[in-house]
Chains A and B, each alone.
Chain A
Amino acid sequence: EAQVTQNPRYLITVTGKKLTVTCSQNMNHEYMSWYRQDPGLGLRQIYYSMNVEVTDKGDVPEGYKVSRKEKRNFPLILESPSPNQTSLYFCASSFAGREAFFGQGTRLTVV
């Protein structure tokens, strides 16, 4: 079954404690991306990757890092989380940034 898997689904953490949200896809897609969804702001792209070792900033990259060492994995790293990064996060994958498959989401709370 084609899928994008994010972990964890829910996470509560404290300010400044580094965390990683994992994302894995089984469709051999080149393009992967991370979004955050906030009330009234829709989906905003954080980072995207067009292939292994190629990453680019989206609209809201501040405070986030990503890496793309393998085609299937695209982890999102928060080196020093802050409360304004409390959000619902989605990972997605696609061929060439077209019709994307989204993960189930990770609800992050930073206190």
Chain B
Amino acid sequence: DQQVKQNSPSLSVQEGRISILNCDYTNSMFDYFLWYKKYPAEGPTFLISISSIKDKNEDGRFTVFLNKSAKHLSLHIVPSQPGDSAVYFCAATDDKIIFGKGTRLHILP
């Protein structure tokens, strides 16, 4: 039973356009949500997070939106750049940290 779901295994976006990565969760006890980025042969790196008391958090080109009623969060990357090509993991936490399966983002030239 997946508590954190990333339903799109991959996504291709033109350079300069907006990338939107989606994540759904089932456990209403999660109080903190995070996005990580992972390149091949490297460990995941933290990208951006949001507390359950907020609905938006922005950091440069990256914005995370949280819709608690829908149990849905999304990561927006604007504008998308070639270096954004990577696997993105959504994660949710109460004490344990539960990751989604990841979405591979390809930025097309």
Contacts and interface: CB of A to CB of B under 8 A. Distances in A.
Contact of B49 (A4, A58, A90, A99): A99
Interface in A36-87: 40-45, 48, 50, 56, 58-59
Interface residues of B, number: 22
B98 A4 contact: no
Query: Is the interface on chain A under 10, 10 to 19, 20 to 34, or 35 or more residues?
Result: 20 to 34
Contacts of A42: 6, 89, 99-102
Contacts of B91: 43
Interface of B: 6, 32, 34, 36, 41-46, 49, 89, 91, 93, 95-102
A14 B25 CA distance: 38
Nearest to B51: A98
Nearest to B95: A97
Contact of B96 (A4, A58, A100, A105): A58
A92 B36 CA distance: 12
Given A42-B89, A43-B89, A97-B93, A4 B99 contact: no
A48 B96 contact: yes
